[in-house]
Each structure stands twice: as C-alpha cells, then as structure tokens.
Amino acid sequence: MLLIPCPWCGPRDEAEFHYGGQAHVAYPENPAALSDEEWARYLFFRDNPKGRFAERWNHTAGCRRWFNAVRNTATNEIEAGEVTA
Amino acid sequence: MTSRRMTGWQGETVRFRFDGRDYEGVRGDTLASALLANGVRAVAASPALGRPRGIYAAWTEEPNALVQVAAEPMLQATTVELRDGLAAHGLSGRGRLTDETDTARYDAVHAHCDVLVVGAGPAGLAAATVAAETGARVIIADDRPIAGGSLPDTAETVGGVPGAEWAAATLDALDGRPDIRVLRRTSVFGYYDDNYLVAVERRGEHAHSRERVWRIRARRVVLATGAHERPIAFAGNDRPGVMLAGSARAYANRHGVLPGDRAVVFTTNDSAYAAARDLAAAGVEIAAIVDTRDTTGGGTDGVEVLAGHVVTAVGGDDGVSSVAVAPSDGGAGREIEADLLLVSGGWSPLVHLFSQSGGDLRFDDGIGSFVPASARQAVEVAGAARGVFTLAGCLEDGAATGARAAEAAGFRVEGTFEIPRTPDEDPGTPPGHLWLVPAADYSTHFVDLQRDVTVADVMRATGAGLRSVEHVKRYTTAGTAHDQGKLSGVLTSAVVGHALGLPLGDLGTTTFRAPYVPVGFATLAGRHRGALHDPVRTTSLHEWHVAYGAPFENVGQWKRPWYYPRAGEDMETAVLRECGAVRKSVGAMDASTLGKIDVQGPDAAEFLDRIYTNMMSTLKVGAIRYGVMCRPDGMVFDDGTVIRLADDRFLVTTTTGNAAAVLDWMEEWLQTEWPGLRVYCTSVTEHWATVALAGPGSRDVLAGLAPGLAVDAASFPFMTWRDTEVAGLAARVCRISFSGELAYEINVNAWDGLALWEAVMETGVVTPYGTETMHVLRAEKGYPIVGQDTDGTVTPADLGMDWVVSKKKPDFIGKRSFARADTSRPDRKHLVGLLPADPGRLLPEGAHLVETSTLPEPPVPTLGHVTSSYRSAVLDSTFALALVSGGRDRMGEVLYVPLGDEQVPVTVTSHILYDPEGARRDG
C-alpha cells in the first residue's frame, strides 16, 4: 500500500488513488497531420522502465485532482520534489 | 493413559475432545501441549505417503500437526489455545470447509504510529521500552498469548526474576502508558510498501469480534521476530517422537509437559545442550547427545556425548523406539533405545517480514544462516532476527535499535536504558553446519514434512536439470504448504546446494511472501460481507418495486426492477405481457438510475463537441440530442442523451453502469489536456427520479397528469424537453424514446419520485415494466447497449451508426482513429440481427457463429458471437443481435450457431427488426 503524496491533500493511502499511466504523453496538437504510425504510437506505445518513471495519478477518493509523480518502479519510492499538480 | 505433566505443575483443568476421545489439559496449554501431556504421539497421517506424524515443533513453524477445530480447517495444533469444550480432529493434509455460515464477527482497525515493534521477546521489549521513553507513539505486537518470546521456553532469568515474569511486567508497564498500544495474540503477517504492515489479532471466541485485522502505517519499524530452530534431514526424521530440541524444551518449561521418557539429542550446536539439561531436570532421561562436531559443547552431568556422530536411522513405525547412531566418518554404529529424538540443526533468524519489506539478505557463514543485510524501507532488525543469539545480546541490541528507531522518527533519547542483569553465558563452541546426513538411500530423509518431500525428491529435481531453488520449490512443492516452508525452505536450498556442489549462500532462498501465518478469508473480509460487501444503491421508487414483487437485476451497484410477475407468471410470460403492453398501450419504467451529469460553464458546448463524436454546440436550448463518446482509439465508450438547458449549461445522461467512469473521463480531459476550458462537471444522478412513460397511449396519460402541458406532436416534438407540472409536482419532461414507441421521460426531484410513480399507476391504464422488457424493446429496434452489444473493440460504424460521427468538426476524441486502415477493414464485426430458422429457438448470449453446417476440424474459425437474445411480443420469432464479421454484407445469409452436437441455422438480418421506418415514434 503505497503512501502517495497528493500535492493538494498530503500523503494518502494508494487505495484512494486511480493510476493514470505514463505522464507527459500529450494529446497531439493536430491528430489529422499525423501518419498512421505516429498516431498508433500515441495510442498504443508506453514506456515500461525498471527505475525512474514519471506517471499520472488521480486522487479519486479525495480532491479528485490529477497530478504527476516520479516513482521508481523497482523500489516503489516516489521522489520528493517530483510531484507536480 | 499416564499423564506426562510434570508433578506439581499447577493449572485450572480444561476438558477437550480430540479424534472423538475426551481428554484433560490445563489453562495455558496449546492443543499440542495438551495432546503431548496425554501421551498422544501421532496426530495425523501424512497427506501423500500416509506415514504417521506427530508434533514436531511448538509454535507457528509446526509442519505436521494440522487439525480441524469445529468449522475451521487447517489450524496448527501448536497454536490453538486450549479451551473448555474444544473439539478437534487431526487432518491429513487438507481440511474441510463447512456449509454453515460463520456467525462470528470480524473487524478491522487502521492505526498509525511512530515506531512499530514486531515481537515482544527480550529484544522487542527492550526496543519498545526505550522508544516509549522518548515520547514516540509505539505499537508493539506479539503473536503469543504471553509475552517474552523464547523466555518462557528457556526459563532464563532477567533482572533476577524468571524471564517470563520480567517480560509480562515489562509489557504491562508499556500497556499502561497513554501513547503505547500493546497488541497481544497479534501476528504481523504482511509487510508492504511505505511501512504499511498488516496484522491479525485473535481476540477469542467470546470477544465482540473474534479476530480483527490491523492495518498499520509506521514511521519506523523494529523487527524483533526471533529465530526458528532448523531441522536436519536424516533417515526416518519424520517419525512421531522426532522433535526440535528447543520445542521439547518449550513444552517442558512453558507447559510442564515431558514429550517423552528417554531421549537422544542430535545436534550441531550448543543450544541443544541447554535443552537437554532442562529436560533432564524436568525428568526426561537423556540417553545420549549425538553431536556432529568433533569438539563438543561441553556436556551435561552423567550423559554420554558422542562427538563426530550422526543419526543414521530411526526405529519404530508408529513412533520413535530406537535411534541408530554412527560416527560421521563411517565407522561402526550402534542402536540406542529411546522414545524421543531431539534435533537441532542450529537457528535461522526469521527474516520473513524483512524480506517482504524489500530488504536484501546475506549469508552468514558463522551461524550458517541468511541474515538481514541492506534495508529498502524504514526498518531495523534486532536480536535473534538478525543473528544475535544470547539473552544479554538481545536485550542490548533491542535497546540500541529502539533508540535508533525513535531518533529516526524524530524523537530525542534522554537518559540511558539500564539493561537488566542476565545469567553469565559461556561463549561455548562454534556451531557446526550439517543439513543432511549422507546416505545411499534418501527416500525417508524428509525435507518438507507436510508436502512429504524428501531429499530424494529434491535430487530428482536437480537431476532433471533444475538449478534455481524457485524452480525446485515448484517442481517438488517443498515449502508450499500451510507453513510456507518455515522449516523446509532453507533446508531445501541446502539440499540443492549439496546436490549441485554449490555454497548455500550462492543459492539464496525462495521469495518470502505474505501472509507469514495463515489468515482466514472471513477475517480478511471483516465486516464487508453480505449486504455490506458492496454499497447497494436503490432509487426513490424502490419500496414500490419491492411491494409489487419485482425481482431485481444488479446493474453496477444499482438494484433495478427486472420484471413484475403477476400471480402464476414466470419471467418469460411476464416479460412478454409487459412488452405487449408498451407496444399496444402504455407502460412505465423506473429510469432513475441513468447517470446524469450537469455540465456548465462558458466553454461547455465546445467541450462537449470534443468529447462526443457528433456536434453538440449546434443544439438549441430546449432540445435534446443522442450522442456517442469514443476513446482516442475510436472504440465506443458510452452513449446517452444531451439536453441543452441554457447557452452555457447541459445535462448529460450516461448508461447506468458507466456514470462514474464518464464523469472521471470528462474530468481527466478537462484537467490534463484542456485546462483552459471553463467547464464544471457535477454528478446529479441522485438528484432526480425519472419515470419513462412509453407506448402509443403515453400521450393521453401525460396529458391527464399534466393539464398545463401542450402534448400534441407539433407543440412538443420528438427530442425536446419542457419544464412543467406533472401530478402537481415540478417536473422536466423529455420526449425521448428507447423503445421506438411514442415515449416521455418525466424527471422530478428524487423526493417526489414515489408520488409521481403512484400518480402514474393510479391512472389504472399503465403497466409497470422492468429492465428485461426495456432490453427486449430496445433490441427489437436495434439500439445497442454499451457493454453488452459492445466490448471496447466496436466503433460507431460497426454499430451501423455512421450518422453519429460528425464530418464537420475539425477534431474530437476518436476522430483520427476512424481514418486508420484497421477501422475500415471490410471484415470488421458489424452489429446485425439474427432470426433462428426455428422461431421458438432462443439462442444463448455469447454463442459463436460459424459459416458451415458441419463443424470443420479445430481450430474452428468463428465469425462473431451473439450479444443479445430474446423472445418477442411483436415479431413472430425469437431474435438476437450479434457482432458478425462483415455482417452488413451478409444480409439474408444462413449462418450456424454450434450448440452441443447441433448446428443451429440462423438468418442474418438488419439489426433493426421492428418498425424500421420509425413510424411509431409520434404515436
């Protein structure tokens, strides 16, 4: 049970959160301009590193806000100072 | 039967039954100690080989003595506290689940603390006392009925008093402090991320809750979990009467029970000598001490010590009657008469929780064990759990660790903790390391007693080429029983090392996983059983549905009335009657569960244009539009209606089961992609009660209930809404239809729902209908249900709804995917209708479709599957909806549904089977 530092509410149990996958995968500016391959990359491809990983969380059972955090997938440690609303 | 209780041992008598016989024990016994006191040696036969097995250990490490107590299967006799009237029987392997409901209450507690100390032995008590002195909030959990760890087993003194007395007084002193919580009979069984630990507290049969789960978040953790004595693998090491030496010592000192008359001690280390001394003092004759070391650990008065010897065989089929010993270098051996064989292969620190926490282990050559190395979490290990095996050492180590933990949690240590006086301990002779006694035949050298795994089995695994202890575990099942390999785990690694000629330290252990001790499912479920298993949502009309005998359908957490059977009606008859009433007259359904989201703000229209596939910004105030939402991959996610209430305000409806997901979806896009849009979304599902009025007679019924409303088709056209009064209640009436008939949805304040419904029913002409009828009616019209007729791989075009996808909007979620080659494949699965050749044949939902009237050899290519299937009141046949590859190009084709030995022929039709012209919409 991770203790996740919500930037609005403070540290809360993982059970209060909803996981949102890799962070910084923005919706393309102009999808129509992308090739099928580029669009497929946006839709279907995500990183799966062992180690530091920037990911999205939503505090669904609390303030319901989305935020980004950097977690080490090998140790489950969330880096202080890398949590951004 | 003679009592094996030490003369003069005091205790209140407790009566119990085991395997159908009556026995007596004393208060404070475990079932195991009481059985031993009554001379019961064999508890149950081993599961695979049927060999008699006795009691091998004295606490949670017991591999043999499994019992069933009343309805509770697979308890260890060594951990069951004896109580009056207890009835148990021995189990060979698996227990038996009862059909009866467990009426006991189970509960859960959440707790936070600065320092959690696991274990109230010498190290844990010292750690908790020091930490408590700093002002830290401390929780100390101990799994035993009485405190002290090994102290009650060894009868050592602390501060000049018996160790058990010192421990009890120390724990009581902690219990009296305001910021300290003492959890007795509480096993910490899981160590998860961020110092989250889970424990089970056994409160007893008469407590308010029989057991409860503690979920504890701790700043710092001190693990003072002690050590287990190790077994040695030798021929016949599973006979009843073979027992760990320290466990026999525990039975004598803790329970006043002598587990035998005449014992042989087989050891690699000095600790068994202390056990032998205590047992001799208690009245057990020690026949000999067989020490694997050439230099022995001293002796005990008048007892023969056989240095450099091993046990080579055990005589007696039903229990130990003799022990064969021989020099380990192979010289001539001899046989010693004995009914008890005490074994000590050294001591292994209990690293289970540390390892679960993510900490690394290292192999300590000195003690021949794995010990904690580097921690990943905020945890420290004290005492025997990290290989400190002297009493004075454990007290000192515990005190130092407690201080470190409190300081790390932000508290200041003031003053010094005075370590209580302990008897002088002889440094003794270093331990030897022997895991198995070499032999020609390893078929009775047991490694895992519960799984009946022998050294021969492990060697078969390594002979088959297995090298990893994880693979050997799975191949042999060693370490997979109720005890999770507490005694067999490292022994298995050692035997693998022996077979492969590899050092044990290089092989490592198998992964330690929670739970450390078995925990009942009822305990984990706690109060979340029956009606409290999941929240139940009911509408404001619920009581009426109950009163009219409706069975309920679960839709998400909602209870929806399924149909309303009249006397003598089964479901089929009732549903056909309800369908007929809507098609020919008028019916009403409780539609309150539909998700409703209030979307408002200056950019609300723009936002909905991006979320829905069709255009919403052109919707006029007062009008309604059906819409579909897709994921970016172009697959249908939800559908519903959008009502425009004002320029900057909409009411969106969603499917019943998807309401929360749609709100989450909207929030996600607003917050993460379009933070510039000024839009606010609020769930208003439960603000409204909604009654759907459907059928050609619905206009007259509405006119009667709402005299102020112009209901003619010109004044109140399809897909518009009006605010008015219905049955004297403030209402919003929407002209929308999910049946193809003339229909209205009347929305009122949820408080007024029942009054509205009763007013509708009082007209005397309206038939109440449930969700099943609603499903049939919509299916006849080919309206898909998202999640039933779709499954996340279906586009709007697959559903025959190209018209709902805007060509004008520059972008919306999913648009780009409609230009992918994959979404325009001609063999995509389309929603079609199916009419069985036999009009009475109801196809099962989920059934597959094939092209040929005889099944080809597998793998059989299937064209798709049936998603909805019903009987109809207006078609002359049963019918189904199905997703079929290239379905729209197969109109009129005959396909086959394989059902058992039959190939059931069906004809492919349009998914719109009733009123395709839409002639019935305006009544």
CATH number of B232-344: 3.50.50.60
Q: Distance between CA atoms of B585 and B742, rounded to whole angstroms?
A: 10
Determine the pLDDT at residue B1. Answer: 43
Flag whether pLDDT at B706 surpasses 90.
yes
Q: What angle do CA B788, B794, B795 make, to 5 degrees?
A: 130
Binning pLDDT at 50, 70 and 90, where does residue B3 land? Answer: confident
**Which residues, in sequence order, are bridge partners of residue B162?**
B157
Determine the pLDDT at residue B428. Answer: 87
Burial of B893 per CB tally in 10 Å (0-12, 13-18, 19+):
middle
Q: Distance between CA atoms of B632 and B320, rounded to whole angstroms?
A: 72
Flag whether pLDDT at B516 surpasses 50.
yes
Flag whether pLDDT at B366 surpasses 70.
yes
The two structure tokens encoding residue B462:
């390594």
Amino acid letter for position A83:
V
Determine the pLDDT at residue B192. Answer: 98
Same fold, B106-229+346-429+516-533 and B232-344: yes
Amino acid letter for position B680:
Y
The two structure tokens encoding residue A19:
């996981």
Tell me which of 3.30.70, 3.30.450, 1.10.287, 1.10.10 is the CATH number of domain B434-502.
1.10.10
Task: Average the pLDDT over B560-587 and give the result.
Answer: 98
In three-state secondary structure terms, A29 is coil
Q: What percentage of chain B carries pLDDT values higher than 70? A: 99
pLDDT tens digits, residue range B330-341?
A: 889 999 999 999
| B313-318, Cβ contacts within 8 angstroms, sequence gap of 24 or more | B313/B234, B313/B235, B313/B236, B314/B234, B314/B235, B314/B236, B314/B237, B314/B239, B314/B242, B314/B341, B315/B236, B316/B239, B316/B241, B317/B52, B318/B41, B318/B42, B318/B52, B318/B240
Domain boundaries, chain A: 1-27+53-85
Chain B residues with CB under 8 Å of a chain A CB are 192-196, 215, 217, 358, 376, 632-633, 664, 667-668, 671-673, 810-811, 815-817, 819-821
Distance, in angstroms, between A77 CA and closest chain B CA?
8
Signed CA dihedral, B408, B412, B416, B418: sign only = negative
Flag whether pLDDT at B557 surpasses 80.
yes
Q: Distance between CA atoms of B366 and B343, rounded to whole angstroms?
A: 20
Tell whether domain B1-98 is in CATH 3.10.20.440.
yes
Q: Which residues of A touch B819 (CB under 8 A)?
A: 32, 36
Distance, in angstroms, between A47 CA and closest chain B CA?
18
Q: Which residues of A touch B217 (CB under 8 A)?
A: 1, 3, 13
Name which of A76, A78, A84 to mutate to probe chain B: the one with the most chain B Cβ atoms within 10 A of its Cβ: A76
Determine the pLDDT at residue B531. Answer: 87
B217, B664, B673 ranked by CB distance to A3: nearest: B217
CB–CB of A66 and B672 under 8 A? yes
Flag whether pLDDT at B298 surpasses 80.
no
Strand runs labelled E in B591-728: 595-600, 624-630, 636-646, 649-654, 680-683, 688-694, 721-726
Domain covering B542-566+578-592+687-778, topology: Gyrase A; domain 2 (3.30.1360)
In three-state secondary structure terms, B847 is coil
CATH number of B106-229+346-429+516-533: 3.50.50.60
Domain boundaries, chain B: 1-98, 106-229+346-429+516-533, 232-344, 434-502, 542-566+578-592+687-778, 595-686, 824-909
Domain B595-686: CATH class, spelled out: alpha beta
A60 touches chain B (CB under 8 A): yes
Q: Distance between CA atoms of B325 and B314, rounded to whole angstroms?
A: 9
Strand runs labelled E in B236-332: 242-244, 262-267, 285-291, 304-307, 309-315, 322-327
Lowest mean pLDDT among A32-46, B91-105, B451-465: B91-105
**Do the beta carbons of residue B568 and residue B559 sit within 8 Å?**
no
Distance, in angstroms, between A23 CA and closest chain B CA?
10
Q: Which residues of B touch A34 (CB under 8 A)?
A: 816
Q: Distance between CA atoms of B891 and B835, rounded to whole angstroms?
A: 11
CB–CB of A39 and B817 under 8 A? yes
Signed CA dihedral, B860, B861, B866, B872: sign only = negative
Distance, in angstroms, between B306 CA and closest chain A CA?
50
Name which of A19, A22, A66 to mutate to probe chain B: the one with the most chain B Cβ atoms within 10 A of its Cβ: A66
pLDDT tens digits, residue range B714-767?
A: 999 999 999 999 999 999 999 999 999 999 999 999 999 999 999 999 999 999
Binning pLDDT at 50, 70 and 90, where does residue B820 land? Answer: very high
Task: Average the pLDDT over B796-809 and give the result.
Answer: 96
pLDDT tens digits, residue range B871-898?
A: 999 999 999 999 999 999 999 999 999 9
Chain B residue with the nearest C-alpha to that of A11: B194
CATH superfamily of A1-27+53-85: Folate-binding superfamily (3.30.2270.10)
Task: Tell me the whole-structure pTM to 2 decimals.
Answer: 0.92
A39 touches chain B (CB under 8 A): yes
Q: What percentage of chain B carries pLDDT values higher than 90? A: 94
CB–CB of A43 and B817 under 8 A? yes
pLDDT tens digits, residue range B837-855?
A: 999 999 999 999 999 999 9
Determine the pLDDT at residue B415. Answer: 78
Domain B824-909: CATH class, spelled out: mainly beta
Binning pLDDT at 50, 70 and 90, where does residue B416 land? Answer: confident
Mean pLDDT of chain B: 96
A75 touches chain B (CB under 8 A): yes
Determine the pLDDT at residue B2. Answer: 59
Burial of B178 per CB tally in 10 Å (0-12, 13-18, 19+):
exposed
